Amino acid sequence: MPDRRQPDSSTDDNPFAAPPEGRPDEPWQPRGGPGHTGPGGPGGPGGPGQEPAPEGPARWDPTDPLQRRARYALFAGMWGFFFGVFGIPSVGLLLGALALYWGVSALRAGVADLGPAARPQRTAAVSGLVTATLALLLAASSYAVQLAYKDFYVCRDDALTRTAELQCNTLLPDNLVGKVLKVRN
């Protein structure tokens, strides 16, 4: 009975397994599965030291500044929009401006030039630009309303009683904005 065990399917994918019988030892390199396209594989270039061509979409690489900027643009724009909707326009303005900067810099720096492999990053950058624009519009409209109806806000903030606060409603116009801002009983 031979000393050597018969190879089973679990050791075929083991990159640390000994080479098959009869083959000389080679420097370590990861072995691929059935569709392996690396050096020596069925679809590979065949020469040692040559890298296979990338297949499919690019994977998330946290060390790549272009991918990081695209993701930052998406997340900052999304949170800036939420802060604008929930009534914190200063944070929405800051996050919207950052998202706009990161989205534009990601698109200008080359995410758009990497071809189909950069499609997820391009989508993230463009989505970040859209949400950043919405966040900036919400913040700007909030500040515009506060500026246009400054007398009402000053009157309401300085009122010491509920009756004085209700009298501030006379400073509002008789339109939709006035009805939304009106102090209720």
Distances (CA, A) of 49 to 15, 30, 36, 98: 17, 12, 15, 42
pLDDT on residue 111 = 54
pLDDT on residue 75 = 96
DSSP one-letter code for 168 = G
H/E run at residue 155: helix 150-158
Which tokens is 185 given?
Answer: 């009983």
Range list of H helices, 48-118:
65-85, 89-109
List the chain pLDDT tens, one digit each, 185 residues.
555 555 555 556 676 777 778 888 777 666 555 555 555 444 445 445 555 545 555 567 778 888 899 999 999 999 999 999 998 999 999 999 999 999 999 988 775 566 666 778 888 999 999 999 999 999 999 999 989 999 999 999 999 999 999 999 888 888 888 888 888 87
pLDDT on residue 113 = 62
